[in-house]
Structure 1
């Protein structure tokens, strides 16, 4: 009996492989080539359930779970379009001229990307997961969904014969369990039985406090085919950072998406929380998601940021000029919540400028010391609460606009760049307005995405404004 093939136009999840599969990639930890290999891969591992997941605007995994037999049997998976129009707290904002709901709340289809298939190592029953793209009922990519926003930016590079390369660094805090949001967060107790204090940057002893948890992070990551480059202790109490190997932007965004889930699950196993809030604890450093970026020529594999003689190229400087010009206007894609702007304040180990410099960590855009072949620019502005797909899209898109429009950067900064005026929007509403007002960003990210994203962010701000803070009760209750 001939094998029935998946029909992308019909947006089918897959078909059962009726014919024998010739030498499938059964040993692969992450990803298979086609539906025949997927069926064999699932059988070889005795997988019972499949989680079909996709990031929403916040980067939260959404999707459906099903038996593995249905995953490979023509099952069509759908989600409502309203899923991409609700806030982080679940509200649905009022419509505006640019923020509209789909009148029928029509279905969007989940299209599994089989290159992301992997096991879910923390589940007790044999379970697998796969990241899905979002398409409409005609099988066309839905432009405003996060993975497609990033794919479109990568496509703009590819059209010019280039391929962007990124390496994210993700900071996060471990915190003691806290089921009452009115109380501040505190670092958990480590193996010594004491809560770790701040000032532990690059401390091996600080990492050793959580040896068993870190072992689980490594174990879970290995089972999913996720590769950690390095892990360090950062400045904050129980603040860690994971660095990932450089690679394709969509693949690295997928990894950050999965790492966040993995780290949270590992922490929960040990009775603590892992948080990617930008500023979880008052008086402590915030958590960033630094992004190292370079661009290579597809045909030659050469880094276009370097000339043949090893000197920086014009594209290198124009990329920086584009980031300086456009990232303040796209900052809401890298700092998406009210809390994000608590991190971007003076004297809190985060840049509040648009300066660049060589090996200067006070600048927003740092050029690390490297050989010409590895010349790159580190964007230090994104916070770890950002959706990785949107943060990477914003950073790469702004750099590309600089090359397209031949924007020269300012001179590099040799001194501290954080001692002057703040060059960035100071709050969420201002950042949203800047995103909407810049026509060049609509060309890169689409007007539809910007309208939906801005509407959701304004809705989140209005929800935040309904909450009375401890500061208001402390200083206004009896004094005004």
Structure 2
């Protein structure tokens, strides 16, 4: 094969300049992972030889349309209408420009490339999560507005071996040789102990251009948080977030560990959240949310009012799985109502401490098990809906929101019902997306509830 740096490179001229530059910097690259992230945020696709990239950029690559809505176990959800009803048809998937990146954890030189799926008419497929977010951003652009987005992800590092009861357990601390059992939030010694892991993640992020800038030891043994820098391109911010999850899992596996973004892996410990920070710039580059706590701006108040109005309709996007709902417990820094406030971690919509010009909303409802594209789409759509309609969020909460407002315990089946009946979802994201995502989750729920659990045997097998 002609070297990638040669002017006779087989990569056609329509390749994004960033992709061509990346490929030229990887002359030894042998294979490329083509990644299509489904509605659950799982990477699906193909692995190809480097030489095959020419055809991918020129003609795209065929993948089954049903891949977008496979359930969490990888099975086609026939109720979506994307399986046997249409003969399990293939659709053309084309590269996302600028998304080619090296895969530094691979034992052989590799790259990865994000894909977007088209429908039968050659248009972007409406139910593709990345496309859902792109359409929301179009509405911002039509108003001369641009969201600035940053993503925070929490996860657990776990031993790859389960405990005696078959349950996950914290890993062996590489420094002490024992398992951490205590909670030491923001404890620097924990970061030092796992520096081999966090340094490897940082190296992978640097290689892939992922702007990870902060690592924190969180509120449980083996729990960490990595924050990404803010971006004025929300699509790019979510590309980076979903690729960060893949990198974290890969680095953990390399080091004999398991990284999990499961919302609530331990009953007695904190859950994993996905927090999205959003400010909004006008055409002049000024933040329309700018204000002080003493005098909240109308734009900030209305944006939060929109998030409150849309929270119930969008809960299934923030909490997509059965386990997601175990995270919603009191006094665990997880919102149990639609409250908001300044510099207050007990509320759902927090306005973090900042100077007036950099005021932003931190949306705290989502679990780390959610799809970043869909979370961002729901948050941004809710904010814009509030700005356009002038919704009033009520006064900000000062002090403990758990004690001042009614706390709700949401349930998966109710969230699915609300989502599938929601006019807001259909109007903002399209009826096709509402149908496909709703049917996917309904199938998962039905599959989940036909299983007989160990707890049922313990409670009922002998006693009833």
Q: Residue 344 of structure 2 aligns with which residue?
A: 360
RMSD, aligned α-carbons: 2.6
- 8 Å contact kept, 2:322–2:445: yes
Q: Residue 118 of structure 2 aligns with which residue?
A: 135
CA deviation string 1:418-457 (max 9, x = no partner): 1366555621110011112221221111111011111010
CA deviation string 1:23-70 (max 9, x = no partner): x9xxxxxxx993576456424422111111121010001111111111
Q: Residue 459 of structure 1 aligns with which residue?
A: 443
- 8 Å contact kept, 2:92–2:118: yes
- 8 Å contact kept, 2:291–2:359: no
Q: Residue 108 of structure 2 aligns with which residue?
A: 125
- Flag the 1:421–1:91 CA change in 2: closer, same or farther, 3 A: farther
In the alignment of these two chains, the number of paired residues is 454
CA deviation string 1:154-188 (max 9, x = no partner): 11111110011111110000011146997211100
Tell me by how many angstroms 1:473 deviates.
Answer: 2.0
Q: Return the match for 1:109 from 92, 95, 101.
A: 92
Q: Residue 385 of structure 1 aligns with which residue?
A: 369
Q: Residue 15 of structure 2 aligns with which residue?
A: 34
CA deviation string 1:186-243 (max 9, x = no partner): 1001111111123211001111221111111111111111111210000111100001
Q: Residue 159 of structure 1 aligns with which residue?
A: 142
Q: Return the match for 1:225 from 187, 206, 209.
A: 209
Q: Residue 58 of structure 1 aligns with which residue?
A: 40
Q: Residue 4 of structure 1 aligns with which residue?
A: none
Q: Distance in 2 between matches of 1:424 and 1:148?
A: 32
Q: Distance in 1 between matches of 2:6 and 2:117?
A: 27
Q: Residue 396 of structure 1 aligns with which residue?
A: 380
Q: Distance in 2 between matches of 1:75 and 1:104?
A: 22
- Flag the 1:316–1:38 CA change in 2: closer, same or farther, 3 A: closer
Runs of 5+ unmatched residues, structure 1:
1-15, 25-31
SS at match of 2:415: helix
Q: How does 1:38-437 map to 2 (within 5 A)?
A: 38-39=19-20, 41-46=22-27, 47-73=29-55, 74-93=58-77, 95=79, 103-178=86-161, 183-191=166-174, 192-247=176-231, 248-297=233-282, 299-306=283-290, 311-419=295-403, 424=408, 426-437=410-421
CA deviation string 1:439-479 (max 9, x = no partner): 12211111110111110101111111122222222222222
Q: Residue 9 of structure 1 aligns with which residue?
A: none
- Flag the 1:20–1:100 CA change in 2: closer, same or farther, 3 A: closer
- 8 Å contact kept, 2:33–2:45: yes
TM-score, length-scaled by structure 2: 0.92
Q: Distance in 2 between matches of 1:266 and 1:350?
A: 28
- 8 Å contact kept, 1:196–1:206: no
CA deviation string 1:367-405 (max 9, x = no partner): 111112101111110000001101111111111111122
Q: Distance in 2 between matches of 1:90 and 1:19?
A: 42
Q: Distance in 2 between matches of 1:101 and 1:441?
A: 26
- Flag the 1:216–1:194 CA change in 2: closer, same or farther, 3 A: same
- 8 Å contact kept, 2:66–2:82: no
TM-score, length-scaled by structure 1: 0.89
- 8 Å contact kept, 2:77–2:83: no
Mean Cα displacement is larger for which, 82-91 or 259-268? Answer: 82-91
- Flag the 1:421–1:478 CA change in 2: closer, same or farther, 3 A: farther
Runs of 4+ in 1 over 6 A off after TM superposition: 98-101, 179-182
Q: Distance in 2 between matches of 1:182 and 1:90?
A: 27
Q: Distance in 2 between matches of 1:70 and 1:94?
A: 32
Q: Residue 7 of structure 1 aligns with which residue?
A: none
Q: Distance in 2 between matches of 1:436 and 1:402?
A: 21
SS at match of 2:338: coil
Q: Distance in 1 between matches of 2:22 and 2:173?
A: 39
Q: Distance in 2 between matches of 1:132 and 1:424?
A: 39
- 8 Å contact kept, 2:65–2:82: no
Q: Distance in 2 between matches of 1:180 and 1:103?
A: 45
SS at match of 2:184: coil
